[in-house]
Structure 1
Amino acid sequence: MGSSGAVHAQSSVALYGVVDGSLLYTSHTLNMSTGQNEGHQFSFSDSGMTGSNFGMRGAEDLGGGLRATFTLESGVSIANGQFGNSNGNVFGRQAWVGIDSSYGSVKAGLQYSPFFLSLFDTDPRGMSYFGSGLVSYVDNVVVTGLFNSNSITYTSPEIAGIQASGLFAPGGTPGDFQAGRQYSAGLRYHLGGLTISGALYSGNAGGSAASTPIPSTVEFVGRTLGASYRFQNDLTISASYTLYKVAGSFDNSVYAGGFSYFVLPYLDVNAGVYYTRDGNEGANHSIMASSGVQFFLSKRTTLYGQVGYVNNHGRMNMGLSINNALYEVAGSTVGASFGLRHMF
């Protein structure tokens, strides 16, 4: 027995994260209690570009082309050290375990939906926390479809440039199968610099996810179709259409377009325009325009500056920033965000 050999599967665990802080200015500030304008603000804002977080990811080679994987990711606010940028739980961004193989990957737990990942694929500003498609997303449905509890997903391998994905999440309420039930599906085509991505989402109210600190069961139906093209000179252009149809409320269509261009290997300039219109009431519409510059001090550390403008009409209340300025007053608001991001 002492001379017998032992076979050990190769495994790895890595700690990773993002620390992002900025200074935020907006010319107007909405008081959510009164609905009135409280004037301009100048404040420190956690996560001006990317949500501050830390987590662990790991993998183990099981042999025969199989690999076990997991991710545990917690959102954190560097403004006060509390949980943030998540559904409010300890590992409120991601908490899943899965199996990878040549036939695709299966994951179970808290994870992103194909609907959100499709939007991320074609957003011209990379889903920045300031002036991007992410602000429009959270303004419409908070974190529903973003952090999906109790979910099981399958992602196929890429075949001839085509990759499919699907998600199903039972609500977890005994005796009520429909409460909190969520499903999503996406299809992605990639060829050279071209990416075309489309997805759908459907979710019901209630279920166990409604008890999280930030409930993720807004009842809505989502649809999106977008495309991006990356040229050899490091210019990427993007355009997309997204529908957020919220039960008993608005029916918002969002038309987006923009670009990202690496002027130098360490300098990126980007811009985006987002027009939102309520299909139930045409008087409710808004336009948001924003641009940003990223100066990469290293592969991990970035200085950035962002400016934005939003104009709301009717009952539209689109803001400019996920943190500190998610909703805004009617009329025009301008804002700016300057910060530092470090990834590890």
Structure 2
Amino acid sequence: MKNLGSRTIALAIAASGMVASSAYAQSAVTLYGILDAGLLYTSRTAGGGAHQVSMIDGGTAGSRFGMRGTEDLGGGLKAIFALESGISMANGGIANSNGNFFGRQAWVGLTSDLGTVQAGVQYSPFVLSLINTDPRNVSYFGSAAVIYVGNVLDTGLFNPNAISYTSPVIAGLQGSVMLALGGEPGNFQAGRQYSARLKYEIGGLTVDTALYSGNVGGTAASTPVPTTVAFTGRTIGAGYTYGRLTAKASFVNYKLAGSFDNRVYGGGLSFAVTPALNVDAGAWYTSDGNDTANHSILTGVGIEYFLSKRTTLYGQFAFVNNHGKMNTGLSLNGALYASEGSTSGAVVGIRHAF
């Protein structure tokens, strides 16, 4: 009997180990990131000063590191999460986020054949639509990303207190909605934000449209970089890929009550010259609907050489011309705003993804 009991205990321990190994095999956590550093030249600073040369973080993409994970819950249902922090290659501090440690993304959710639900800090459907229709892949230098952040800072980009749902793709159509709660007792409107998106893809064609509406206040108003600038946004864009060539165009409206009503018309091309070499170019015209004397034109071109699948050398040139009170800049980092008149700039750098 004693021998039998020992065998039973041994079998139980072995079985529990097999169950633990099986459960572990159904879960995965991935560490990832981007490290991007460049040298920026601008012909003059925002105050109309002399030319400047500086090291910046994020010539093409904001440096970051994060973790994403999944757990298979069975029946096609999975638990998912993401934690992502922006960092500065210039000083090692927090950057390229709303100023908080995991200020880029910090959400948990569920996904299945019925769609995906996420809760926490996340990108809005409006921002994801803009990313999808930018011909320069929302480069941090000389693209629509500079115009976006220059208008509304991190609002809509990193949304605190947010809950979202994204549908499965049905006949090429996919929709998503998001509601961010302000968190202020007795005042539902304070800091409340919502966004929706509808995307259609067939073959090489993509059509993408989205909206955004947000209020000031709420608990998210305390983020170091503002994420509750009150504005309404509307966008529609399209892209088409033919072989190695991709063309994209979009219209975006940023409207702040009692302030500007900026209407942005943009488009451009991206071409894979070889598997190791890519070039792109884009142009964006911005006009204030409240006063058309305020307008600007931003153009940007870039070249990327892929040393490997993870490491890229790049060079970019951009030019902006501002009229009236318009202050469109060249770069998210180092030159977000520019003075009236013409300003040019260039950036060279290296990007590594892991």
TM over 0.5, shorter chain: yes
CA deviation map 1:212-248 (0-9, x unaligned): 111200000000000000102x100000000000122
Q: Does 1:29 align with 2:45?
A: yes
Q: Does 1:178 align with 2:189?
A: yes
Give distance in 2, aligned partners of 1:302 and 1:244.
33
2:4 aligned partner? none
| Offset of residue 22 of structure 1 | 0.3
Q: How many residues align?
A: 338
Q: Does 1:226 align with 2:242?
A: no
2:36 pairs, out of 3, 20, 28, with 20
Note the residue ranges of structure 1 that are not aligned, 5 or more in a row: 31-35
CA deviation map 1:111-139 (0-9, x unaligned): 00000000000100000000001001001
CA deviation map 1:36-70 (0-9, x unaligned): 31111111111100000000011000001100000
Q: Does 1:46 align with 2:57?
A: yes
Give distance in 1, aligned partners of 2:128 and 2:96.
17
Give distance in 2, aligned partners of 1:276 and 1:40.
25
1:279 aligned partner? 289
Q: Does 1:256 align with 2:271?
A: no
2:304 pairs, out of 286, 294, 303, with 294
1:315 pairs, out of 325, 334, 338, with 325
1:245 pairs, out of 228, 243, 255, with 255
1:204 aligned partner? 215
Q: How does 1:53-202 map to 2 (within 5 A)?
A: 53-202=64-213
Q: TM-score, normalised by structure 1?
A: 0.97
Give distance in 2, aligned partners of 1:102 and 1:333.
50
Give distance in 2, aligned partners of 1:254 and 1:342.
31
| SS of residue in 1 equivalent to 2:253 | strand
Q: Does 1:332 align with 2:348?
A: no
- Structure 2 counterpart of 1:299, which letter? K
- Structure 2 counterpart of 1:313, which letter? H
CA deviation map 1:236-282 (0-9, x unaligned): 00000000001221000000000100000110000000000000001
CA deviation map 1:12-34 (0-9, x unaligned): 1111000000000010101xxxx
Identity %: 62
Note the residue ranges of structure 2 that are not aligned, 5 or more in a row: 1-7
Give distance in 2, aligned partners of 1:269 and 1:84.
27
Give distance in 1, aligned partners of 2:50 and 2:150.
20
- Structure 1 counterpart of 2:248, which letter? S
- CA RMSD across the alignment: 0.8
Comparing both structures, which one devotes a greater share of its residues to helix? 2
Give distance in 1, aligned partners of 2:91 and 2:284.
31
- Kindly name which structure, 1 or 2, has the bigger radius of gyration based on alpha carbons: 2
CA deviation map 1:179-235 (0-9, x unaligned): 000000000001111111000000000111110111200000000000000102x10
Give distance in 2, aligned partners of 1:194 and 1:17.
30
| SS of residue in 1 equivalent to 2:156 | coil
CA deviation map 1:88-115 (0-9, x unaligned): 0010000000101000000000000000
Q: TM-score, normalised by structure 2?
A: 0.94
| SS of residue in 2 equivalent to 1:299 | coil
